[in-house]
Amino acid sequence: MKNFKCKRCGQCCHSPRLSKQDISRIEKAGYEGFIYTDNLGNNYLKDKNRWCMFLVRGKKSSCKIHGVRPKICRQYPSELIHGSCKPVELAFDKFIENK
């Protein structure tokens, strides 16, 4: 999103879905054992205590694989809801829309 400035709160970092290209890129960077596959065959980054395993939480959170992170992480957020990029705001807005 143009003109979006990430504040590094880390609240969007919950087990993103992985494409084959994401997996290949992360493996080429030397990582392994990071994939969780659901019973439909979809691949996700594993979590650790409900957060992405690569998130380093803090006042300014950071990503251990920033240079090779999944495409969805690079694209987030695609929109802001009431000026916020927090997933809970986005989910709440969708809930209202579907009523």
Q: Which residues touch 12 (CB under 8 Å, ≥6 apart)?
A: 76, 77, 85, 86, 87
Task: Name the residue nearer to ligand SF4 (CB basis): 32 or 97.
Answer: 32
Shortest spacing between CB 76 and ligand SF4, in angstroms: 8
Burial label, 52 (beta-carbon count in 10 A; 0-12, 13-18, 19+): buried
90 binds ligand SF4 (CB under 6 A): no
Task: Name the residue nearer to ligand SF4 (CB basis): 64 or 94.
Answer: 64
Task: Name the residue nearer to ligand SF4 (CB basis): 67 or 99.
Answer: 67
- Identify the residue whose tokens are 């987030």: 76
23 binds ligand SF4 (CB under 6 A): no
Q: x/- string (CB under 6 A) for ligand SF4, residues 39-78?
A: ------x------x-xx-------x-x---xx--x-----
Compute the distance between CA of residue 91 and CA of residue 79 in angstroms, rounded to an integer: 12
